[in-house]
Chains A and B, each alone.
Chain A
């Protein structure tokens, strides 16, 4: 009896698996007109969805725009978007599928560092260009020939924070970071770069990324007489920190990371968010940039198009996907072919490429292309993002944190 059932199961399994007839098999178009296949792995669901959802939307928007304009060198782009659910094992499985079955030229994404590191070697071995939207330094260092990333460097963000602190005459910082990859990387960079900027990190604590109440952690900081609080995390902790600080009367400047890149977080923080300082790409203050700024046109256009199409606020995270699409399409255009080596070389030769995160200058040694000038120090004024204006060295610089 059991044998029959076993065979039945086996048969069912075989039917299901066989029934998935090659979805990646190319059509019958001629080589010159066949669409260029680009894969995209985003964390559209799961804990990384605040990254992956806007990234996927941006990528699709970009593809539609390119295809409407006739494609690249006459060939349209076929974007294969896959949801990894923020799980590295899924990222591996889907990446293999894209590489081996769909035979994509390049993969955009993934959204998080953990997923990227899981497929870094895979893409390198299979000579598939990987343009990641994740922030970890280890993605491009040690360097892999086919692996690139679009977000700015964490170390530059940390330097900006410390530079601004120094300008404000503050030296004692309390650092709180979330326990996800972004927070851990941030904590490391902050710790590493504080001494060279003359800043002392008095206390450094890591909290759970899903924490709903930070008053306890902040009370601990308050007890250490910190002059500024640096919070390196993503949503929802960012807005929470601002509010909690005010609620327990910890009235010192609050610095955030470039994870603060969406006006929603400002709204969530309400009044408490005013005065927050953070380094960020210029997307969020696109309108107030001078017209002569090279990024202005692109940023304003992206913002307008995204908000009109998706009826939601634009974020810097979606911008990383925009930059990735921009880089690959520009490289293909420049190389004039879809030969992997040529496109890869073309990426490394891109200079002065205006993107949302900054102006990219790639090289064989630099697979990120962005430097400190990609960031701008921003602040929040009256519930809106504004450029931070350096005040003259304050006489009353040291705000007393306790009453």
Chain B
């Protein structure tokens, strides 16, 4: 069922990446990569949200909460100082397991904190667990109730990171160390590592798109598209709507959390504004602009809009721009600015099952 053709478009990504690199290098403006890198990590959230909204048809007004959850867990774990507790059993076990590293903070003070890989794994676990726990009761809600519930979730995350001392309260967590993927390959904001970070970010996007395309073309994905077309029909054909929706919800949460972890290490900090309602709304606006069920559209829009916003192109009208996009898209181009996904596959699937069923 899956041919090489479905994966071929992925090759466009490295082509674009190298192409852009060339353009920027020619203009002597490698520095602009930084906004591209940040946009790429935000795009991970958008890809997940697109799957959720477009393919599973579930609105989420709280996805920034998962982004923040991933970022904050990772930040807290990599900046904590366990030296005072070095003798306790828990800490010693962690050390033996290789989860901790000793390092110095920017001002020379010795620290004992978790390694970025351990933090990343924990962040993923937390995001997944929370998404599962939230998802189980919430996925069966419909329409605006689901939107409200996800909004509530995003707000709770925001309130927690704003209030908890371990999360730095209103100022957030800064001095987050770089994430060493392999010896010599680090995710961090320093100018010396800019080009490698650029390719790491594109790599992350490629990986996410790969997973997403896999999902769409798998049984789960086809089932989802049938649900999207007509939930009753799918249900009557024996498609377990609930399980699939939950799976996509958790998957999109994991993607968002991964984006959060990576961006936090790149930026070296995270703050409560990453969990705010406005951020969640932005992600929704981007998915809407790209076309609800159009992965490539969402990715493209995500990169472009975030890039422009981060560079301050919209000036004081940043918020207004996203508001306008929301409205304009819904009024004039509900399918997004690019053509939508081909639904014929779904029709064939439903026809096939009806014949065999």
Q: Do these two chains really belong together in a complex?
A: yes
B255 at interface, CB cutoff 8 A: no
- Whether a CB of chain A sits under 8 angstroms from the CB of B232 is no
Kindly provide the distance from the CB of B5 to the nearest chain A CB, expressed in whole angstroms. 9
B107 contacts the other chain (CB 8 A): yes
Q: Which of B33-41, B55-63, B146-154, B349-357 binds A? A: B33-41
Centre residue among B36, B269, B297 by max chain A CB count within 10 A: B269
Contact across chains for B12 and A7 when beta carbons are under 8 A apart: yes
Taking residues whose C-beta sits less than 8 angstroms from the other chain, chain A's interface range is: 35 or more
Of B28, B296, B310, which contacts A22 at CB under 8 A?
A: B28
Q: CB of A92 within 8 A of chain B?
A: yes
A9-B271 contact given A18-B27, A22-B27, A22-B29, CB 8 Å threshold: no
CB <8 Å contact, B271 and A89: yes
**For residue A178, which residue of chain B has the nearest CB?**
B170
Q: In the complex where A93-B35, A97-B31, A118-B268 touch, is A12 in contact with B189 (Cβ < 8 A)? A: no
Tell me, yes or no, whether A120 is within 8 Å of chain B by CB.
yes
Known: A90-B310, A114-B271, A179-B163. A5 touches B318 (CB 8 A): no
- Residues of chain A within 8 A (CB-CB) of B218 are none
Which of A1, A97, A136, A180 contacts B311, CB < 8 Å? Answer: A97
Q: How many A-B residue pairs have CB under 8 A?
A: 153
A12-B300 in contact given A22-B29, A100-B191 (Cβ < 8 Å): yes
- Closest-by-CB residue of B relative to A92 is B267
The answer to whether the Cβ of B8 comes within 8 Å of any Cβ in the partner chain is yes
- Chain B binding surface, main DSSP class: helix
Q: Mark A153-180, 1 if CB is under 8 A from B, else 0.
A: 0000000000000000000000000011
Are B300 and A13 in contact, CB atoms less than 8 angstroms apart? yes
What is the number of residues of chain B that contact chain A, defined by CB distance less than 8 Å?
59
- Is B110 among interface residues, defined by CB-CB distance under 8 A? no
> Is the C-beta of A365 less than 8 angstroms from some C-beta in chain B?
no
* Contact between B190 and A125, CB atoms less than 8 A apart: yes
B8-46 contacts to A, CB under 8 A, are 8-9, 12, 15-16, 19-20, 23-24, 27-29, 31-32, 34-36, 38
Measured between beta carbons, the chain A residues less than 8 angstroms from B315 are 83
Of A44, A85, A96, A136, the residue contacting B171 (CB under 8 A) is A136
How many Å from the CB of A362 to the closest CB on chain B? Answer: 20
| Chain A contacts with B in 79-110, Cβ cutoff 8 A | 82-83, 85-90, 92-94, 96-97, 100-101
Q: Give CA–CA (A93, B39) in the complex, Å.
A: 11
B interface footprint on A324-366 (CB within 8 Å = 1, 0 otherwise): 0000000000000000000000000000000000000000000
Given A87-B271, A93-B38, A114-B271, check contact A10 B15 (CB 8 Å).
yes
Our pick among B300, B318, B338 for the contact of A85 (Cβ within 8 Å) is B318
Q: A residues within 8 A CB of B32?
A: 17, 20, 101
A223 at the interface (CB under 8 A from B): no
Is residue A290 within 8 Å, beta carbon to beta carbon, of the partner chain? no
| A118 close to B271 (CB less than 8 A) | yes
Q: Beta-carbon contacts of B151-191 to A below 8 Å, as 1s and 0s?
A: 00000000000110000011110110000000000000111
Question: How far does the alpha carbon of A101 sit from the alpha carbon of B29 in the complex, in Å?
Answer: 7
Whether A122 sits at the interface, judged by CB under 8 Å, is yes
Name B's A-contacting residues (CB within 8 A): 8-9, 12, 15-16, 19-20, 23-24, 27-29, 31-32, 34-36, 38, 106-107, 162-163, 169-172, 174-175, 189-191, 263, 267-271, 273-274, 296-297, 299-300, 303-304, 307-313, 315-316, 318-319, 338-339, 342
Rank and list the top 5 A-B pairs by shortest CB-CB distance, nearest first: A100-B31, A9-B300, A10-B16, A114-B171, A93-B310
**CB-defined A-B contacts under 8 Å, sample of 12:** A6-B296, A16-B304, A18-B20, A22-B29, A92-B267, A92-B269, A113-B171, A117-B172, A117-B174, A118-B174, A122-B268, A136-B171
